[in-house]
Amino acid sequence: MSVGWLEVVVATLFLSVVVSLVLARGRHWLEPGFWKVAAIPLLAMVVHAVYDAGVHKLQTVNRPALFWAFAQAFGNLFGAGVWGFMHTLPQINLYSHGTQMAAAHGHLAFFGAYVSANLALFYYILGKTRVKEGYILNGVPWKIAYVGLIVGIFGMTAALTVAGFTQTMIERATLGSTWEAYIQAQMHPWMEEAFKWRLFFGVVFILSYLVLLYDLITAGKRVEQLKEAQLAG
């Protein structure tokens, strides 16, 4: 069996998910010190993704699988790496733990690390099982879902970050985590505005998710219809 570059990408992606999962769990259990180096494999993964994109010029028979693999590399780095790095230092986490900052980190990290990886594998398997050899898995719906889901998750993350920042600074670091401090932070304009934007991007996300479901259910059938039309025409 010859090994194509998409197989190498998907296999690396799967391995990196397992490694990052172990490292991430390790970081949460063995908090002192470990989190600072946990982002290093995530950075290495991005190097690999950019290498593949540049050298192979995105030529593949399964574009959605490839693009979700890229989303995994970048989403994992930003969600787990950048957002994790920002507030997981114990001296900071003492104040940010349990705020919307943790929710922002969780939203982007899980989307990047696991949702994107699963979607890449779904499309890869779809390409192997529902699409006959020689057919190219592509189309408009997956692109709409891809852009919509990424805009939605980054929008929610940005909104939650603003809300979490407000909680960390006002409720925790300035007013000292009292009930009164909690109420004041919840009524702060930054908090109220952030929750409105979170709702807006949540709606964007769920609409894109419906498009994704449609594409996953019908992609194989549509590719075959397209090929038949090409042969008939």
Partner 1 sequence: MLAETIYKLMLYGFLMVSFACFYAILYTLGKAIRLPYLQKLSYSFGVLQFLSGLGMVTSDYLDLLWRAIILFSTFAYLFIPPIMWRVVTAFHERGTSKTL
Instruction: Specify the residue, 11 or 213, whose C-beta has the smaller distance to partner 1.
Output: 11
Of 124 and 165, nearer to partner 1 (C-beta) is 165
- Cβ 174 to partner 1, closest distance in Å? 5
CA angle in degrees (0–180, nearest 5) for 76-82-83: 90
Q: Compare residues 95 and 111 and give the one whose CB is closer to partner 1.
A: 95
> d(Cα 211, Cα 226) in Å, to the nearest integer?
19
Cα distance between residue 72 and residue 49, in whole Å: 9
Closer of 167 and 208 to partner 1 (Cβ): 167
Q: How far is the CB of 100 from partner 1 (least distance, A)?
A: 14
List residues binding partner 1 (CB under 8 A).
1-5, 8, 32-33, 36-37, 39-40, 43-44, 46-48, 50-51, 53-55, 77-78, 81-83, 85-87, 89, 91-92, 95-96, 165, 168-170, 173-174
Cβ 76 to partner 1 shortest distance, Å: 11
Q: Rounded to whole angstroms, how far apart are CA atoms 168 and 177?
A: 9
Specify the residue, 7 or 192, whose C-beta has the smaller distance to partner 1.
Answer: 7
Burial of 159 (0-12, 13-18, 19+ CB in 10 A): buried
Q: Please give the Cα distance from 168 to 151 (Å, whole number).
A: 25
| DSSP conformation class of 61 | S
Nearer to partner 1, 35 or 201 (CB): 35
DSSP letter for 89, please: S
CB of residue 112 vs partner 1: minimum separation in angstroms? 12
Residue (168 or 208) nearer to partner 1, CB:
168
Contact 75, 106 (CB under 8 A): no
Q: What does each C-alpha distance from 112 to 93, 95, 137, 142 come to in angstroms?
A: 22, 25, 22, 17
> Could you give phi then psi for residue 137, rounded to 5 degrees?
-80, 110
CB of 87 to partner 1, least distance (A): 6
Shortest distance, position 213 Cβ to partner 1, whole Å: 31
User: From the CB of 107, what's the least distance to partner 1, in Å?
Assistant: 16
Distance CA 158, CA 193 (A): 12
